[in-house]
Amino acid sequence: MILSTQLPLFPEAASTIAPEVDALYFFLIAVSSFFAILIFSLVFFFAIRYRRRSESERPRPIVGSLKLELLWTVIPLILSMVMFAWGAKVYYDIYTPPTDALNIYVVGKQWMWKLQHPEGVREINELHVPVGAKVRLTMTSEDVIHSFYIPAFRIKMDVLPGRYTTVWFEATRPGKYHLFCAEYCGTQHSNMIGSVYALEPDAYEDWLSGASAQALSMAEAGRQIFHQADCVTCHLSDDPLGPSLSGLYGSRVQLDSGETVVADQEYIRESILNPNAKIVAGYESVMPTYRGLLNEEEILQLIAYIRSINDISGTDGGSAATERMESDQ
């Protein structure tokens, strides 16, 4: 919205959702201001117009008006429903990431932001993204509640320990933008700041290729952790004690309780840290917990590896995934 960029109190609008957020905000301000001015004006007008002029004056009885009652009931109702519907749409748009978005992973920790690209590039308190590309942030915390806030993009999402939250954006103009933690998280909360660099696609590719030259991709790093943690013993052996990982991500899993759950990142994370929470039908509860042995970044890398096996299996009926898993053994 042009108005927001001209007022010094408002940050630059630099994402696709920013103009709609600003439009809704100014609509709410305009409606609130109109009715506040109207009500106070009527209060002063009625106080003067209908003041008592003498001790003997007796005001006439006021006869109610059904039309007037309906008018000041229906108009606020319509305005409230417009606000609700508009706000619900904006909320849905912000917190429903597109399926084709670029995935970037964020871990909040007192007092820094740790970010990792699928290609393996890691950043601390900085985020590089391409202009015109949809970017999905998958976030979690290693300690307390944080809040990932980029004012210029009009996005803010709590980052919670023990679960994943997501938000997405699409930068519309190159530049450097502020990144804040918007939730008090300790004595150095005010220092938990950073910068977001929105680059033209060619410049982003140049930056990414240079930064990722010596970095392992998240899936490859997860594969190494998979071997180091001896996950192959139960999941890739000839006589596996645990369920197969081929095609697991996104599939429906039957539990011994009779329930069916979707094997998403929340399910996989819980299975790593609390393996007894959901036992797969046909298998015993023999998997140890890796709580305290793996940090949040390593868990995200493991999930990326499991997801890569799933991506391979989805392309050719699982044969490539089988070959990959056999080579891992």
Say how far apart CA 6 and CA 75 lie, in whole Å.
Answer: 32
Angle at 290 between CA 285 and CA 296, to 5 degrees: 135
Q: What is the pLDDT of residues 313-328, one digit of tens each?
A: 443 333 334 344 444 4
> In the chain, which residues have pLDDT < 50?
1-2, 312-329
DSSP three-state, residue 264: coil
Beta bridge partners of residue 177, listed in sequence order: 196
Report CA-CA distances (Å) from 265 to 143, 147, 166, 261, 300: 19, 20, 12, 12, 8
**How confident is the model at residue 40, as a pLDDT?**
94
Query: Which structure tokens are listed for 200?
Result: 């033209």
**How confident is the model at residue 106, as a pLDDT?**
94
DSSP three-state, residue 169: strand
212 within 8 A of 117, measured Cβ to Cβ:
yes
**How confident is the model at residue 237, as a pLDDT?**
63
Answer positive or negative: Cα dihedral of 130, 132, 134, 137: positive
145 within 8 A of 183, measured Cβ to Cβ:
yes
How many other C-beta atoms can be found within 10 angstroms of the C-beta atom of residue 75? 11
246 within 8 A of 273, measured Cβ to Cβ:
no
Q: What is the pLDDT of residues 259-288, one digit of tens each?
A: 888 888 888 888 888 888 888 887 777 788
Say how far apart CA 229 and CA 282 lie, in whole Å.
Answer: 23
Mean pLDDT of all residues in the chain? 84
* 155-159 own/partner pairs: CB under 8 Å, 24+ apart: 155/15, 155/17, 155/94, 156/182, 157/95, 158/183, 159/106, 159/108, 159/183
**How confident is the model at residue 296, as a pLDDT?**
86
Say how far apart CA 30 and CA 82 lie, in whole Å.
Answer: 14
Say how far apart CA 103 and CA 97 lie, in whole Å.
Answer: 10
**How confident is the model at residue 290, as a pLDDT?**
84
Say how far apart CA 136 and CA 153 lie, in whole Å.
Answer: 13
Say how far apart CA 308 and CA 313 lie, in whole Å.
Answer: 9
Angle at 202 between CA 199 and CA 205, to 5 degrees: 85
